[in-house]
Structure formats: structure tokens, C-alpha cells
DNA sequence: ATTGAAAATGAAAACATTTGCAATATTGTT
DNA sequence: AACAATATTGCAAATGTTTTCATTTTCAAT
């Protein structure tokens, strides 16, 4: 039972109550083997009685690690980030660290100031999403010699080690799939690519794969829809209203694909009989759609877990280590894709 | 351009380079009005040149706020939590704080140790999800006089101020809706209620509302499915296989409702003609389903934003303040609910 | 009982800041 | 030019730890 009242229960108060010196109390936490078992027992008892809680801030100014890792994401509430954050946080927790989380809403200037903030908090490492960041941010991290990890996308030429998937390859994979099915009248729907290297790389992959079979996506069929079922659905409804449907709609992520499927379903357009629809990401629930969504799996949980190990290695390892990891995307051919119908 | 090399750029290094005392440097950050404009300029220039970054850990041991708020959630990767975390983090950021995030996976013992960890980090406040917590956790927070907020559910009798919705009311709302449509052969699908007061309260609300019209959910139709489209879908497929369908399926959250809709869609069972389906939550995308999902809106973003203001008030306010807020749930009658068909 | 090595402990300095108080510099007034 | 009032700065103590080094204690071996 911890005693009530009494703020400032510090290591000195504990020492007094246990009739030992502060040094001994400190040691009993950090190097328990150096203090006699009976003394340790006595201290532990006092700690419990007084409700003492260690002060990491005070430890941190001794150059001891803060035990925190800064994670800066565009946003938390996109399925795919949420999944990754979850597994990253679980793994990091397991390794004794806690996450300091901030989101910048796809604004790279905010990312810079959040990075500064993380450094003020003396995090032990920083993880950023994607490859594209302002030079300021990169310089800052480099100059402070902060262990830094780029998460989510992989590129061998990135300024810091990456753990992630190859978004270009993911786009190419799905583009090729659609091309091989024989589609030539193809539409694409992607989120705005500004400040979002993931989306632009995917789109590039798609375009290049289609180009290999001489297929080009007409300007009018390059739909832009921010990440949301609602905007995707209405974009496709507009497309339907115009008439002259494509035989395939390649979506930049599964959420957009869901919206697309709802719109087509509503218009009683058969998938994949009349129109093939594909996503990227393989979010939870995509497989259970009716019909089941053809997409490219980007294993968010794996990335999160691997990234956690990687950054902890960067933090704890004395010598330079190579922690970069490419987690390859994988095509999932399911029910929403098929050969072009006789439109 | 910050100078390269040189770690330990501390306030003393800055002071030396600017030919003033460390106190003046400190003041120029914390009480700029107390230092002459020209001196401040000089210091700022040095700070930029040396790439100095303030050390919040060192400030914190002076009783100054750490600028962090501990947020402990069951999991990040459920749509509804993700949305809330996002708006909470945005709002908290706006107010000058950063989130220290941890997830316990619905394990309340882990919640306790995460809470301890937060206290070690000297967070300025702690936000927990839901009403139900172990006595240990509550005692710990109370004893440390930590500003604490209970998030997501609202209860006037909770041990700490709450900002959230009324889950019982949410359940009652949808139960009454289904009852009023005339349904009497009703199934329910809820996540396991252990350690999840949200789910159990919702279910209680549903049962009570149905009881008012003398309707009871038979044992065999009380489906339990963990939060996932996949499990919901297969649970409903099992139900269909058994034959003897209910005229309505009330789901504990929208994700379960999505799975249910997919299963029915696959079996070509008309919604709402043959079976009414309802959710709770009104997640993003629920409205865009075909047919559009009838559900109860629990405004996650509003809760997150309000909660952020509330906890910052708890932290910064001298006197005791009443920050509790009930954000009422709201029924959204849409396309998946209708009068019972002639089964 | 002594001795010496090993084990356990304590004193004090160090860490990067903030702040109360005292000292000094700058003003404006006469 | 002298004075007071005010503005600005520096000194030194304080914050809650850890750690080095020196001191004390313990205990087995003589």
C-alpha cells in the first residue's frame, strides 16, 4: 500500500526511509547485483510503501537513453498506417521502448517541426514514413546523429536505412496483371501524389507496366480521389454518368477500390464481368468483399515489426549496422479481376 | 547552417559562443521579455549556428511540464480508435503537447504496467480508453495525483472525468429501432465482452430495448465474433448454413456489420428485404456501402478533439475543473434496415 | 585474533537546465 | 553631473538522478 499524500517522493526520500544512501538506491535499480540481497529487499519494501516512481527525465540528462522512439506519420487513421503503427508499437514495447507519436497530415513542413520536437524530447531514435522528406528534416537528423529509419517504402538509395515495401513494384505488379488479362481501356484512381511518394511510385509502376503492352491511360480516366470510400464512390459515379466505361479500374489503394466497388454495385455493373477492379494494400476486409478484391499485398504488420527491430538495433548497436529490409509486395488475384467483357 | 560535429551543444556552449551567461540564454527562451532584444538576436544567431536543441528532459526535472500526454489504448488498428487517436493527437499537438502512445491489446494488467511507464516518463496527464480498469491502475493514478481522463465511454459515476459517448444508449437506440420496425426474430453479433466495457454496455442496451417489446435473443443467435470482417462473415455464413434465419442481425460495431453484409450478399439474401442488418459506430465507409448501413453514429473525431481540450484543461488549470462531456450517440437510419419480410 | 581480498556502501561530482537574488548597466530627471 | 528608477545580466543554488572513487564491512583463511 503506497502512502498517500507526499509528492516529491524521490530517490533521496527512499534512501532516508531505508536508511541507506541514494547511491545504493540507484544501484539497486540499475545494478541489482552490486547490492546485497537484504538491502535490496529493504529498499524494495520502502519503494512500495512510498509509491516511488523512477524519474526517467532525471536519468536522461545523464546521457542514459530516454527509452522513447519518435514516430512521425502522415496520419493515424488510414487502415494501413494504423496496422503498421500497431505492430510497430507492440514490437517496440517488447524491446523496452515507448512511442512518441505525432502526425503531420501530409505536410512536410510540419514534419520538420515535429522532428525538432522529438529531438527536444531526446528520443533515442526517429522513424519517418516514406522516402520523400525536406532537406531540412534530413539534415537535422543527420547533424544530430540521430538513429533514423525510413519506414514503409524501400529504396536502396535513400538517405537513411529503409524498412518497407517497393511501391513501384506494387504498382507494376497490378498493372501487369491487368494488362495480361487483356485490358486496354483502363482507368486509374489515385490519391493526390503531392508529398506522397508511395502514391506516386505506385502510379508510375502501373503506367510503366501498361506501357509495356502499349496501353496508355487517357487523361480523362486518371481520377484523383483522396483516401476515402466516399470520394472514390462519387468519382466512379461521375465516371458512370459520363458513359463510355473502361474495362478496368486500377485503384491506388484498397479503400478507393472499395468505393469503386460500391459505386459499380449500385449501378448494377457486374464485376468483373463488365469491369475489373483492383486495389493496392490488401487491407483487412478486402478479401471478404463480394466479390473478393484483387489487390497487391503490402504486409503492414511485417513492416511494422521489422522496422521496430531495425530501429532498436540502430539505437543499441555500437558499430554501424545494416538494417535495411525490403519486404516484397505480393499480388493477390481474387474475384474482382477478369478478362475484359464485351463492353 | 548548423556547424557539423560537436555533440554536447548545450546551453553553456551557446552561452560561451554568445558571450553571455547560461542564465541569460535560458531566459531568452523562457522569458524573452526579460532579455534585451539585441542580446536575444545574438543568442538566436548562435543557436542556429551551433544547431542547439533544447533539452526537455533537463527542464522536466525542475518541475516544468514535460509536454507529453500518455495515451493508452487497447489497440490502434481498429478504425474507430484510429480516428479518435488522430483527432486527439491533432488537437493535443495544437495545444503544445505530444502523445506518448502505448497499446495493451485488451489486457488490463498490461495497461497497469504501461501506466507506470508513463508515470516514469513524467507525462503531464494520462488518457485511458473506457471505464473499466483495474483498481491498481486507478489507485496509482490517483495516488500520484496525475491528471487523468477516461476516454470513449461516458459515465457520470466513473472514478475520473469522462469524455465520450454512452454505449448503453447507443445499443438501446439501435435495439429500439429494430424493435419498432417490427422485428421479433432477432440475432446479435458482438465482440467478446471481457475487458471491453464498450461492447458489453452496447449489448445490454440492445437486449433491454428488445425486452421492452417482449423480444428476447435466443442463445443460438447470440453470435460472438472478434473485431474483424472475416470472422463476422464466416459467423453469418455458419448461421445461414444452419437455416432458419432471423429477420434482423444487430451487430456490435460496423466492421461486424460489413462482414455480415458480405455474407448475406454472397448468399444472395436480400438486405433489407429478407434480413435487416445494423451496426454501431458509423465508421468511415459505412454510409457508402450498398445498401447504405443503418447504424448509430458515435462521433470519434469529436470525442478525440473534446478529450484533448479536456485533458489539457486538467493539466493546466489551477483549481479543480469539471471537464466531463457526454457526446450523445445518434441513430442513422439508412438502407440496411426495414420491416421484416415474409421470411 | 589477524590479515587480506572481495563485497557493499557512501560522498561527492556530474548531467543540462531554471530561478531567486544580487550586482551592474542603462535611462530619464533634475 | 548626480541621482534614482528601471532594465538587464550574472552568480550560485537547486532539480533528481548516475557514477567514479574512496571507504567501510564482511568473511574465509591463516
| A179-205 average pLDDT score | 95
All three cell numbers of A274, joined, read 463488365
Amino acid A30: pLDDT: 96
Judged by CB atoms closer than 8 Å, whether chains meet at B79 and A77 is answered as: yes
Residue A320 pLDDT class (50, 70, 90 cuts) = confident
Question: A11-54 and A167-297: same fold?
Answer: no
CATH architecture of A167-297: 3-Layer(aba) Sandwich (3.40)
- The answer to whether residue A24 scores a pLDDT higher than 70 is yes
Helix segments in B95-228, DSSP class H: 108-120, 135-143, 167-180, 197-212
Instruction: Provide the pLDDT for residue A4.
Output: 40
User: What Rg value do the Cα atoms of chain B yield, rounded?
Assistant: 26
| pLDDT, tens digit, 9 for 90 and up, residues A260-274 | 999 999 999 999 999
Q: How many residues does chain B have?
A: 343
3-state DSSP of chain A = CCCCCCCCCCHHHHHHHHCCCHHHHHHHHHCHHHCCHHHHHHHHHHHHHHCCCCCHHHHHCCCCCCCEEEEEECCCCCHHHHHHHHHHHHHHHHCCCEEEEEECCCCHHHHHHHHHHHHHCCCCEEEEECCCCCHHHHHHHHHCCCCEEEEEECCCCCCCCEEEECHHHHHHHHHHHHHHCCCCCEEEEECCCCCCHHHHHHHHHHHHHHHHCCCCCCHHHEEECCCCHHHHHHHHHHHHHHCCCCCEEEECCHHHHHHHHHHHHHCCCCCCCCCEEECCECCCCCCCCCCCCEEEECCHHHHHHHHHHHHHHHHHCCCCCCCCEECCCEEECCCCCCCCCCC
pLDDT of residue A195: 79
Measured from the Cβ of residue B292, the count of other Cβ atoms closer than 10 Å reads 16
Q: Which CATH homologous superfamily contains domain A11-54? A: lambda repressor-like DNA-binding domains (1.10.260.40)
pLDDT at B342: 55
Residues of A in contact with B282 (CB under 8 A): none
In the predicted structure, residue A115 carries a pLDDT above the cut 70? yes
Report how far apart, in Å, the C-alpha atoms of A247 and of each of A31, A211, A223, A337 are. Answer: 68, 16, 15, 10
pLDDT band at A76 (very low <50, low <70, confident <90, very high): very high
Share of chain A above pLDDT 90, in %: 93
> What pLDDT does B334 receive?
98
State residue A7's pLDDT score. 61
> Which pLDDT score is estimated for B49?
95
Which pLDDT belongs to residue A205? 98
| Cβ under 8 Å to A: B residues 255-314 | 255, 258-259, 262, 265-266, 284-285, 287-290
pLDDT of residue A1: 46
Q: Residue with CA nearest C14 C1'?
A: A62
Q: Is B30 on the interface with A (CB under 8 A)?
A: no
Cβ atoms of B209 and B171 closer than 8 Å = yes
Residue B341 confidence (pLDDT)? 79
pLDDT score of B130: 94
- What is the pLDDT of chain A when averaged over all its residues? 95
Task: Tell whether A1 is within 8 A of chain B (Cβ).
Answer: no
CATH no. for B167-298 = 3.40.50.2300
CB of residue B62 closer than 7 A to nucleic acid strand D? yes
Residue A5 has pLDDT above 80, yes or no: no
Whether A2 has a pLDDT exceeding 80, the answer reads: no
Size of interface A-B (CB pairs under 8 A): 173
Which of the residues in chain B have pLDDT under 70?
Answer: 1-7, 342-343
Does B58 contact strand C, using a CB cutoff of 7 Å? yes
Q: Give me the pLDDT at residue B343, please.
A: 47
pLDDT of residue B319: 85
Q: Is the CB of A59 under 7 A from strand C?
A: no
- Residue B122 and residue A56 in contact, taking contact as beta carbons nearer than 8 Å: yes
Which chain C positions come under 7 Å from a protein C-beta?
7-12, 14-20
Q: Taking the alpha carbons of A77, A83, A88, A91 in that order, is the dihedral positive or negative? A: positive
Place of cell 513524467: B122
Q: What is the dihedral of CA B272, B278, B283, B286, to 10 degrees?
A: 0
Contact of A153 with A130, CB cutoff 8 Å: yes
Q: Find the CB nearest A100 among B100, B144, B262.
A: B100
* CB-count burial class (<10 Å; 0-12, 13-18, 19+) for B281: buried
> Is A76 touching B (CB cutoff 8 A)?
yes
Q: What's the predicted TM-score (pTM) here? A: 0.93
Residue B59, nucleotide of least CA–C1' distance: C17
State residue B5's pLDDT score. 42
Domain ranges of chain B: 11-54, 68-166+300-327, 167-298
Cβ distance A285 to B120 less than 8 Å, yes or no, reads no
CA of A61 to C1' of C17 (A): 9
What chain A residue is nearest to B74 in terms of C-alpha separation? A86
Q: How far is the CA of B37 from the C1' of C30 (A)?
A: 29
Report the run of H or E that residue B297 belongs to, with start and end. strand B295-297
**Maximum distance among all alpha carbons in chain A?**
89
**Which CATH code of 3.30.1360.30, 2.70.70.10, 3.40.50.2300, 1.10.645.10 fits the domain covering B68-166+300-327?**
3.40.50.2300
Architecture per CATH, A68-165+300-329 = 3-Layer(aba) Sandwich (3.40)
Minimum mean pLDDT range among A29-33, A143-147, A317-321, A328-332? A317-321
Amino acid at each position: 500500500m503506497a502512502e498517500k499524500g507526499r509528492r516529491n517522493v524521490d530517490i533521496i526520500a527512499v534512501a532516508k526511509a531505508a536508511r541507506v544512501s541514494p547511491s545504493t538506491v540507484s544501484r539497486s535499480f540499475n545494478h541489482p547485483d552490486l547490492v546485497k540481497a537484504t538491502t535490496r529487499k529493504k529498499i524494495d519494501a520502502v519503494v512500495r510503501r512510498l509509491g516511488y516512481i523512477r524519474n526517467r527525465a532525471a536519468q536522461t540528462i545523464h546521457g542514459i537513453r530516454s527509452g522513447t522512439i519518435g514516430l512521425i506519420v502522415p496520419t493515424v487513421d488510414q487502415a494501413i498506417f494504423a496496422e503498421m503503427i500497431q505492430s510497430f508499437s507492440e514490437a517496440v514495447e517488447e524491446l523496452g521502448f515507448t512511442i512518441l507519436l505525432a502526425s503531420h497530415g501530409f505536410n512536410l513542413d510540419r514534419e520538420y517541426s515535429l522532428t525538432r520536437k522529438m529531438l527536444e524530447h531526446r528520443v533515442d531514435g526517429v522513424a519517418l514514413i516514406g522516402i520523400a522528406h525536406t532537406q531540412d528534416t534530413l539534415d537535422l537528423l543527420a547533424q544530430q546523429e540521430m538513429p533514423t529509419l525510413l519506414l514503409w517504402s524501400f529504396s536502396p538509395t535513400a538517405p537513411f536505412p529503409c524498412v518497407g515495401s517497393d511501391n513501384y513494384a506494387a504498382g507494376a505488379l497490378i498493372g501487369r496483371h491487368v494488362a495480361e488479362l487483356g485490358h486496354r481501356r483502363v482507368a486509374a484512381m489515385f490519391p493526390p501524389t503531392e508529398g506522397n511518394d508511395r502514391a506516386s511510385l505506385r502510379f508510375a509502376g502501373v503506367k510503366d507496366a501498361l506501357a509495356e503492352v502499349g496501353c496508355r491511360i487517357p487523361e480523362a480516366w486518371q481520377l484523383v480521389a483522396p483516401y476515402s470510400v466516399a470520394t472514390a464512390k462519387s468519382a466512379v459515379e461521375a465516371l458512370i454518368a459520363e458513359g463510355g466505361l473502361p474495362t478496368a479500374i486500377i485503384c491506388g489503394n484498397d479503400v478507393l477500390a472499395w468505393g469503386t466497388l460500391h459505386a459499380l454495385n449500385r449501378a448494377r455493373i457486374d464485376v468483373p464481368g463488365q469491369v475489373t477492379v483492383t486495389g493496392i494494400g490488401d487491407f483487412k476486409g478486402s478479401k471478404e468483399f463480394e466479390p473478393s478484391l484483387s489487390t497487391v499485398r503490402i504486409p503492414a504488420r511485417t513492416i511494422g515489426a521489422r522496422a521496430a527491430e531495425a530501429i532498436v538495433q540502430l539505437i543499441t548497436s555500437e558499430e554501424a549496422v545494416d538494417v535495411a529490409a525490403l519486404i516484397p509486395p505480393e499480388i493477390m488475384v481474387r474475384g474482382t479481376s477478369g478478362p475484359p467483357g464485351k463492353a
